[in-house]
Every structure is written in C-alpha cells, then in structure tokens.
Amino acid sequence: MNKKIVLLLLAILFKTIPMSADEGMWLPIFLQKLNEKEMQSMGMKIPASAIYDVNKSSLKDAVVLFGGGCTAEVVSDKGLILTNHHCGFGEIQSHSSLENDYLKNGFWAMKQDEELANPGLSVSFLIRMEDVSAKVLEGVNPSMNEQKRKDLIAKHISKIKKDASEDNKYDAAVRAFYAGNEYYLMVYQVFKDIRLVGAPPSNIGKFGGDTDNWMWPRHTGDFSIFRIYANKDNNPAEYSKDNVPYKPKKFLPISLKGVEKGDFTFVFGFPGTTQEYLPSDAIQMITEVINPVRIDLRQTRLDIFGKYMQQSDQIRIQYAAKDAGIANGWKKWIGENRGIKRLSAITKKKDFEADMNHWIDNQNDSPYKGLTKAFTDNYKPLAYWKKSETWLVEAAYGIEALRFVRSFNSLVELNNKKDTDPAKIEELVKRLISGSKEFFKDYNSTIDQEVMIALLEKYQNASADISYPDILTQISQKYDNNWEKFAEKVFKKSILINEEKLLSVLENYKTSDAKKISRDPLFKLTEEILSHHRTIILPKTRFYEQNIDSLQRVFVRAQMEFTPTKRFYPDANSTLRVAYGKVNDYYPRDGVKYTHFTTLDGIMEKESAEVLDYVVEPRLKELYKSKDYGRYAASDGRIHTAFTATNHTTGGNSGSPVLNADGELIGINFDRNWEGTMSDLMYDPEMCRNISLDIRYCLFIIDKLAGAHHLIEEMCIMD
C-alpha cells in the first residue's frame, strides 16, 4: 500500500473513535435530540423534558447562576438555596469581624429576620434559551474583515437583547458558541435581595483548605445556605425589609439514598470556560509560556501572605478570601500543566492536525488550506506578548496598592476634562470614599510592601525576555536595583494608601486636589504601568487574538467536517449546561487506587491540632464519638462526606446540584481532582473526576451540628 492510502485509512480510523460518554457539557435545549437516549441507557429514569422545558416547570427552574461565577439550587418552596461555602465566602467574610467571626464559628439564622442581606449579590434564573444564529449572522460573509464582522454582529445582538428584555423585565444575553459559528439568546430573571441563612464553621466548610484544594480524597463540607427574597408579587426587587421569601416554580427534592459506584448522575449548572477545540500551538502557549509565570508569581505572594496570616487572627480574616482566590488558580494551573504533559496533549493535537492536513491536502480547493500554518504564524508572536502581559498582570497588579490606585485614574481624568459637571465629580468621590473604606478594611500595608519588593525584583529579572515598562527600568537605575529602598519610600510618601490621609482628602475634596493625587508617587507608577499595558501590549495581543478568533472559527468548522460522527458540545461560556456520567473511582498513579467516596472517619484520620487546615471542629468530634448520625448515615453506618464521578465540569460549576437517575438532589458539586484539571483543555475519561459533597453530610451538619431544624423541615427530604 502506498503511504498516502495508509495515512488516509488512519485518518478514517481516527475519525470514528467515539468520544467517551462522560465528556461534554450539553445545552439543555438539545438534550432530547442529542443525549436523552444515551442518558437513559446509562441509567437515567426521567425524560429530558423533566430537565428543561419552556412550557412547564422543569428542573432548570430550580437552578440559578449565583453571583458572578457559581451555581446554586433551590431546595424549598420558600426560596432557600444551597451553594458552596467557597461561593458564599465573600459574603460570609463581609459579615465577619473579630467579635462576630462567622468565618471561624459559622453562622446560622434561626429565624427569618436574622438572615443577613448582601448588597451586590444576585441570582439569575434562566427563563429560556433560543438559537438566534440566523439573526445574529445575517449579512455576515466570510470575506468580511474581523472588525466589520464584529460590529455587524454587535448591532444585531443589541437589537435581539432589547426585544427579549421585555422592557427590562428580564436580563437578556446573546453568547457565541462553537467559536462564533452559532449564537444563542439567554433570557434571565435576576433577583437582587439574597440573604445569608447559614454557613458551617470554616474548619468544616473549608476543611482541608488549600492543602486539599483540587485534590481527592477530600473531606470539605463545602456548602452555605442563602434565601432569595422577592417583592409581594413574587417578582425581583432591590433589598427591602418588606420583601418576602421567593416562591419558586420548582425546587429540588433531596434523596438520602446515597450513591454506589456505577450510578448515573448529572450536574446541572453554569460552567465558566473551557477550550477544548484549540490547536496545539495554543496548548503550548498556555502550558509552557503563561502558566509557569502565573504559578511562580503567585507562589511568591502566597508565601508572604501565609507568613503573616499565621501570625495574627486579624490578618487571617482580612486575607482569607484574597489568599484563597490566588491559591486556587495557582494550584489549578500546576495540575493542568501536569495533566497536559501526562496526556501528551500537545503531541496528540499535533497528530490530529497532521491527519487533518492530510485530509485537507487530498481535497481540491479546501477552504481549510494553510490553517495550521496560519495558527503558528499568529501564536508565535502572540506568545511573546501574552508572556509580557502575564508578567505585568501577575507582578504589577499583584501589588494590591497598584490595583487600588487604578481606581483614582477616572477622578483625575474627569477633573482634567473641561466643563465636567461638578455633580459627576461629587458622585465619583462618594464612590471612591466607600470603595476606599472597603479596601482598607482588608488591607495590610506591611504585607503589600513586602509583596511589592518581591514581585518587582522578579519582574526585573525577567525583563530581558519580555516587553517591560520603561518606568521600572528608570526606577531600577535610580535606586541602583534596590527595590526595597524604592518600596519603602513609596509607601511612606504616598497618601493614597494611607487611610487617614486619603479619606481626609476625599471627604473635603476640592478640584485642586486632583493635582495632589496625580503627583503621588504611587499614582504615577500605576499610570505608567497601566499605559504600558494599554498602549504597548494590548494592541499587540488584540491584533493577534483577532486573527486567531477568525482562524479558530474556521478550525472548529473544519474539525466538525473532518470528524462527522463525533458529537460536538460547545465550550463552556457561563451558560446553563448538563454534564452526565457515573459515580466512579480512579487510579491516580501506578499502584494507587482511590475509592469513589470519603467518610467522617477520614476527617478524624486527617486531624491535626498543629496544621490549621486539619483542625477538626470540636462539635463535629462529639457527634463522631457519640455516633449521633440520625437518618444521615449510609448503609455502612458511616457518614459519607464526598464522592467522585465522571461528570465533565469546570469553574462555575461550583455549587451545582448533582442529581441521581430520578432527578433528586444527592450532592453539591465543588471541585475536580488534581489529576483531571486539564479537562478544561482536554478531557481524559480515565483520570477526570468531579468532586461532590454528599448531601447527607450537608444535612447532618445543618441538623445535628447547627440544630437548624427549621431548615430541614423546609426541605423535601426523601428516605
């Protein structure tokens, strides 16, 4: 056989390899058409229409987008919702102080009037979704340049959104799917009075902390409870003490049956971002250029935070949320890089591209000719600019003071503009005052000064390989590379990070103060770095990314044509999706097998009085000793804490309901395993697992530890 035919046969073989049943985050509107049969063959006992239906109530009416980036589910007819502890963390922290340390001790509203309001927090119900590709892409043609295309699409989208919002009754969004080959309209009802109802103490809700984060075996009681409030007509309203608990169209029944290995489960929520259809060049850029910089610089910040957090309770509270956020990305990227390497993902993608190119070459006049080369031509320069940008973002903006001072930019600008309405300035100053108070509540300048020195030193050491802000070169010359001296001076001289001085300026603000602000050493530093980002780096990244966007759109289409038997799911984009799979264990490495569930015994096993992450809540220990488990014990007599399954999930799926074959709530999704975090770029059915809190552990804590029996009674719990 000649080589060409062999390659062709190989290509055909490759094309018919089925994707594993576990991979994918599916659009609820297409479940019936694409997935119902498979879901039922895997064990599901309900029809797809029970999950999503626009005409009658369905499970989708019990799932909400929580805040900006999590999911929550309605579990009572009085608008009670469950999400993760880490999703409610910011709110729990904001109500906490040294006197009322809800982070440490937990919080339970024993009556409705004790529930705490959270300005700024909202939840969104999806009312419906609709394919609007034809309307959005009307008049768009392949020869159009990317900017023209974008403008036309934006015009269509704004009209569609306006029509769908029904005079602002709803929030409408149109999102791109399949890299812009399709567009869907999402119509949401947004509730804005969301109150905190309960949270376990952190040594339950965050048990294992960042030591266990992204890892299995896991014992985190990662849940918190909120309630949706509505006006008297059951419609969304801003916070008011006259608001009443929302009466939902649907709430989830809860099952105490637990899970066995092999059981069907599905996760219903709002996954944020995946990038499954990228070319090898992109995977290379992400894992070999961007991730290492992020990991290194975050490690530096975490080391400094950690040192101070251990020394003082006040700092521990102030820095808890920031630390968790930084650590979360840091650890995920480490896992992602390892997973991509273990999977040989770059080689796999390269092989795929070679096969595809062969297929392309065998066609006369394929529209896909030159695609992979064009990717390389753009990713090569992009990688340099992305590296520069990552350094700037993680090193310069990693300094809290710099991020904070950015907000004064608009004040100076407004002031410098001719005939600005003074009322506008007044308003902005007011906002800056409240923003500043919020910032200083959780700010420690000793920590930040140390962070500044460490990050700027590293930034300078990397400067030869990246586009580096001139201002920093000048400073290093002036201070003879002594960043310590520089930081000391800036922190001493700047009024912008001195709470007292800053507030006194803002509270007696006169237009002449703008000069004072613009001359502040921190302001100048921030300005120059910002301007380097805006005028030097961004135009370059935008240019190459725009080229890549149009290539990617074609590449996705090419992949669909090249592998016509494969079912394609769209990448996650914070829209409502269903992922389904089975409860399953896994082999993380040679000679090691992990079971699919963990128990309270494991919490006792991990206990350590010295390691903060493994301090066990005394009340939990009591319950463990007395074996007072009530109806929440599994058939083996133990409390099961968490379980793993093969549902394909990502960031944003936190707090998502995990449901059984009957559509009953059995868990709350909260994490993935470290060995599987590369699933945002490439999924591996052998290794990728989502991690869920066993709902029985959650109820056990609410009932037995908190004694919040009224909440248990509100829910529909089935034995």
Is the CB of residue 229 less than 8 Å from the CB of residue 245?
A: yes
The residue nearest ligand GLU at its CB is: 654
Q: Which positions ≥6 away from 557 have C-beta within 8 Å?
A: 178, 181
Among 94, 124, 224, 654, which one carries the catalytic annotation? Answer: 654
One DSSP character per residue, 211-244 reads HHTT-SS------EEEEEEE-TTS---S--TT-E
Positive or negative torsion for Cα 385, 388, 391, 397: negative
One DSSP character per residue, 400-454 reads HHHHHHGGGHHHHHHHHSTT--HHHHHHHHHHHHHHHHHHHHT--HHHHHHHHHH
Q: Which is nearer to ligand GLU, 89 or 251 (CB)?
A: 89
Measured CA distances, 585 to 30, 636, 673, 685 (Å): 29, 18, 11, 11
| Residue 335 lies near ligand GLU (rule: CB under 6 A) | no
Among 85, 86, 219, 648, which one carries the catalytic annotation? Answer: 86
Is the CB of residue 276 less than 8 Å from the CB of residue 681?
A: yes
Binding string to ligand GLU for residues 60 to 99, with x set by CB under 6 A, is what?
Answer: ----------x-----------------------------
Positive or negative torsion for Cα 377, 379, 385, 388: negative
| Residue 224 lies near ligand GLU (rule: CB under 6 A) | no
| Residue 246 lies near ligand ARG (rule: CB under 6 A) | no
Which of 149, 672, 689, 704 is in the footprint of ligand GLU by CB under 6 A?
672
Binding-residue total with ligand ARG (CB under 6 A): 10
Q: Which positions ≥6 away from 1 have C-beta within 8 Å?
A: none
By a kind-dependent CB cut-off of 5 to 8 A, residue 652 interacts, out of ligand ARG, ligand GLU, none, with ligand GLU
Is the CB of residue 583 less than 8 Å from the CB of residue 261?
A: yes
Q: Which stretch binds ligand GLU (CB under 6 A): 483-491, 557-565, 619-627, 644-652?
A: 644-652
Q: Which positions ≥6 away from 181 have C-beta within 8 Å?
A: 133, 553, 556, 557
| Residue 86 lies near ligand ARG (rule: CB under 6 A) | yes
| Residue 696 lies near ligand ARG (rule: CB under 6 A) | no
User: How far apart are CB 210 and ligand ARG at their closest, in Å?
Assistant: 5
Measured CA distances, 365 to 109, 350, 359, 360, 361 (Å): 68, 23, 12, 9, 9
Which of 671, 675, 694, 703 is in the footprint of ligand GLU by CB under 6 A?
671
Binding string to ligand ARG for residues 621 to 660, with x set by CB under 6 A, is what?
Answer: ------------------------------x--x------
With CA atoms as reference, report the closest residue to 182 among 685, 557, 656.
Answer: 557
Which of 20, 40, 112, 328 is in the footprint of ligand ARG by CB under 6 A?
328
Which of 188, 264, 408, 670 is in the footprint of ligand GLU by CB under 6 A?
670
For the beta carbon of residue 141, count every other beta carbon within 10 angstroms: 9
By a kind-dependent CB cut-off of 5 to 8 A, residue 200 interacts, out of ligand GLU, ligand ARG, none, with none
With CA atoms as reference, report the closest residue to 655 among 91, 54, 32, 24.
Answer: 91
Q: Which stretch binds ligand GLU (CB under 6 A): 143-151, 429-437, 560-568, 649-657?
A: 649-657
What tokens does 568 get? Answer: 């394609």
Is the CB of residue 109 less than 8 Å from the CB of residue 116?
A: yes
User: How far apart are CB 208 and ligand ARG at their closest, in Å?
Assistant: 8
| Residue 220 lies near ligand GLU (rule: CB under 6 A) | no
| Residue 652 lies near ligand GLU (rule: CB under 6 A) | yes
Binding-residue total with ligand GLU (CB under 6 A): 10
Is position 222 annotated as part of the catalytic site?
yes
Amino acid at 16: T
Amino acid at 298: R
Q: Which stretch binds ligand GLU (CB under 6 A): 2-10, 56-64, 237-245, 645-653?
A: 645-653
| Residue 571 lies near ligand ARG (rule: CB under 6 A) | no
Amino acid at 184: Y
Amino acid at 600: L
- End-to-end C-alpha distance for the chain, whole angstroms: 64
Q: Which stretch binds ligand ARG (CB under 6 A): 111-119, 162-170, 210-218, 589-597?
A: 210-218
Q: Which is nearer to ligand ARG, 527 or 617 (CB)?
A: 617
User: How far apart are CB 224 and ligand GLU at their closest, in Å?
Assistant: 13
Q: Which is nearer to ligand ARG, 66 or 459 (CB)?
A: 66
Strands (DSSP E) contained in 310-372 are none
Q: Hey, which residues does 425 pair with through a beta bridge?
A: none
| Residue 654 lies near ligand GLU (rule: CB under 6 A) | yes
| Residue 482 lies near ligand ARG (rule: CB under 6 A) | no
3-state DSSP call for residue 342?
helix
| Residue 657 lies near ligand GLU (rule: CB under 6 A) | no
| Residue 331 lies near ligand GLU (rule: CB under 6 A) | no
Measured distance CA(224)–CA(103) in Å, rounded: 11
| Residue 258 lies near ligand GLU (rule: CB under 6 A) | no
| Residue 676 lies near ligand GLU (rule: CB under 6 A) | no
User: How far apart are CB 651 and ligand GLU at their closest, in Å?
Assistant: 4
Q: Which is nearer to ligand GLU, 244 or 324 (CB)?
A: 324
Q: Which positions ≥6 away from 422 have C-beta within 8 Å?
A: none
Is position 571 annotated as part of the catalytic site?
no
**Which H, E and C letters describe 647-680, residue by residue?**
CCCCCCCCCCEEECCCCCEEEEEEEECHHHHHHH
Residues in 263-292 that interact with ligand GLU by CB under 6 A: none
Q: Which is nearer to ligand ARG, 216 or 586 (CB)?
A: 216
By a kind-dependent CB cut-off of 5 to 8 A, residue 210 interacts, out of ligand GLU, ligand ARG, none, with ligand ARG
Residue ranges in contact with ligand GLU by CB under 6 A? 70, 649-654, 670-672
Q: What are the catalytic residues?
A: 86, 222, 654
